[in-house]
Chain A
């Protein structure tokens, strides 16, 4: 099975597919033909619409930061089965200064809110937040607890909510694809 799986033919096909994907995603950013720019600011504006968004959405770097149970699935997300790198979600960074996406995985206690806020403020703009799992979305099973806030959206602006206790790593992959759509239009599978 392994020989077949790793055959050179398969790799060639994968390369072709990859090239096709890149071409199509470039095509989909409607590039206007025969445009004559009179001002330099127009050039930068056109670039910021197309190229910057394209590069931004294809290199989302998440922050290595886990609070509770969902962090286990977050670790699984970074490993070989899900293979997050193929879509540009690079391996988790240890510092917020290099990151675009903060994935809040786990319940948020009152003690940890200031730390999360500080991490968020250290991230360079534009920054995105994903609430991963029940606890970060709405408090989950701890809705009666005196020390848990009912969702990270009371503290930070959240872009994507992922439901589940815990959601499978594939769900996080889906969520990040949704985030890509939000940043720069439709994404192909």
Chain B
């Protein structure tokens, strides 16, 4: 007999305002039907009525766990449309900020994942205290704690403080140790591994067919990362290598994110070492030429959750149309496929391993 269970929209396990209708036979999941739209606010329409410089505020709220990723993506789209080159020092600083943001985002994900699989609050507290340290460093570099709005066309609104590298180095060493500690606590713990290994398997063909990106795709053994496949900024110079795992289960996705954090630490270290001197400031507001060179542009970037993409039809002063490819939405679409046949309690481990942000899904 099939029973229908309603989960959410306000539920501690759904990571935001997501409603799931789950058909279960006993304790086995037969079908998962996500209902979305509880955070819909019409960003794409609002953006059309505002000037280019007013829009980053809206873009940051798309992915509130890693706001800088979408801020930078939008500014890059405007740069591509206007034909504005980015200064070299600004490229390095942006890279450092993006990678620090990725670490902070993955740490938040790790804390909530551990909560969902029954490691109540120990890992959560550890991850959040570490995330707070990363956020403090970002605050030093970008100005505020959560919503930065520090990107300007061609650069940033201000340079890094001169002693930033000195402050960053001890924290990066600390994070290296800390990630090893996390891995030791989690991977040697049978409660964690039993609930993650072999759960929510997404094989290579299905991953490509559904169009998932980010750690979800790389956990299924596909070597695709926008940072290496369509390289931007100085990722190539800094020896970036994408992290992949072949198993395709929730544990592989966890492993990819842990490896990515290590890779990000390496990237930030390399960037701080080889950062050139010079000017990093973006254009002043009155100097920005609002007449676009390319009317239609498509820009894609690797956000912590996958490949974010923006398609923009540019008009003078304001975008005529801005379409956003949100990675969370597409990653969430795979939920029914991989949760089928598992126990009901595994649903939240699977959902957490996909790491969706609902504001990004609903737009």
User: Which A residues form the contact surface with B (CB < 8 A)?
Assistant: 64-69, 71-73, 75-76, 79-81, 91, 94, 106-107, 109, 111-112, 115-116, 119, 141-142, 144-148, 165-166, 168
**A72-B64, A94-B12 given; A109·B40 CB < 8 A:** yes
Asked whether B41 lies within 8 Å of A109 as measured between CB atoms, the reply is yes
- What is the minimal beta-carbon distance from B354 to any residue of chain A, in angstroms? 18
Asked whether B10 lies within 8 Å of A147 as measured between CB atoms, the reply is no
Chain B positions within 8 Å of A81 at CB level: 128-129, 132
Cross-interface CB contact of B108 among A72, A141, A148, cutoff 8 Å = A72
- What is the minimal beta-carbon distance from A96 to any residue of chain B, in angstroms? 9
* B16 on interface, CB distance cutoff 8 Å: yes
Asked whether B57 lies within 8 Å of A141 as measured between CB atoms, the reply is yes
Asked whether A111 lies within 8 Å of B10 as measured between CB atoms, the reply is no
Asked whether A141 lies within 8 Å of B9 as measured between CB atoms, the reply is no
Q: Interface majority SS on A: helix, strand, loop or mixed?
A: loop
Residue of A nearest to B124 (CB): A79
Cross-interface CB contact of B38 among A72, A109, A165, cutoff 8 Å = A109
Cross-interface CB contact of B129 among A65, A73, A79, A116, cutoff 8 Å = A79
Asked whether A65 lies within 8 Å of B10 as measured between CB atoms, the reply is yes
User: Which B residues form the contact surface with A (CB < 8 A)?
Assistant: 9-10, 12, 16-17, 37-42, 46, 49, 57-58, 61, 64-65, 67, 108, 121, 124-125, 128-129, 131-132, 145-147, 358-359
Asked whether B41 lies within 8 Å of A147 as measured between CB atoms, the reply is yes
Kindly state the separation between the CA atoms of A72 and B132 in the bound complex, as whole angstroms: 11
**A68-B64, A80-B128 given; A144·B146 CB < 8 A:** no
- What is the minimal beta-carbon distance from A103 to any residue of chain B, in angstroms? 13
Kindly state the separation between the CA atoms of A17 and B61 in the bound complex, as whole angstroms: 42
Chain B positions within 8 Å of A146 at CB level: 42
Chain B positions within 8 Å of A91 at CB level: 121
Cross-interface CB contact of B39 among A67, A80, A144, cutoff 8 Å = A67
Residue of B nearest to A114 (CB): B9
- What is the minimal beta-carbon distance from B104 to any residue of chain A, in angstroms? 10
Cross-interface CB contact of A76 among B42, B49, B128, cutoff 8 Å = B128
Chain A positions within 8 Å of B42 at CB level: 145-147
Residue of B nearest to A66 (CB): B16
Kindly state the separation between the CA atoms of A119 and B17 in the bound complex, as whole angstroms: 14
Asked whether A144 lies within 8 Å of B49 as measured between CB atoms, the reply is yes
Asked whether B124 lies within 8 Å of A142 as measured between CB atoms, the reply is no
Asked whether B46 lies within 8 Å of A145 as measured between CB atoms, the reply is yes
Residue of B nearest to A165 (CB): B147
Kindly state the separation between the CA atoms of A71 and B67 in the bound complex, as whole angstroms: 14
- What is the minimal beta-carbon distance from B362 to any residue of chain A, in angstroms? 8
Asked whether B40 lies within 8 Å of A79 as measured between CB atoms, the reply is no
**A64-B12, A144-B49 given; A76·B132 CB < 8 A:** yes
- What is the minimal beta-carbon distance from A172 to any residue of chain B, in angstroms? 13
Residue of A nearest to B63 (CB): A69
- What is the minimal beta-carbon distance from A48 to any residue of chain B, in angstroms? 32
Asked whether B49 lies within 8 Å of A168 as measured between CB atoms, the reply is no
Chain A positions within 8 Å of B124 at CB level: 79
Chain A positions within 8 Å of B145 at CB level: 168
Residue of A nearest to B64 (CB): A69
Chain B positions within 8 Å of A111 at CB level: 37-38, 40
Asked whether A107 lies within 8 Å of B132 as measured between CB atoms, the reply is no
Chain A positions within 8 Å of B147 at CB level: 69, 165-166
Cross-interface CB contact of A144 among B37, B46, B125, cutoff 8 Å = B46
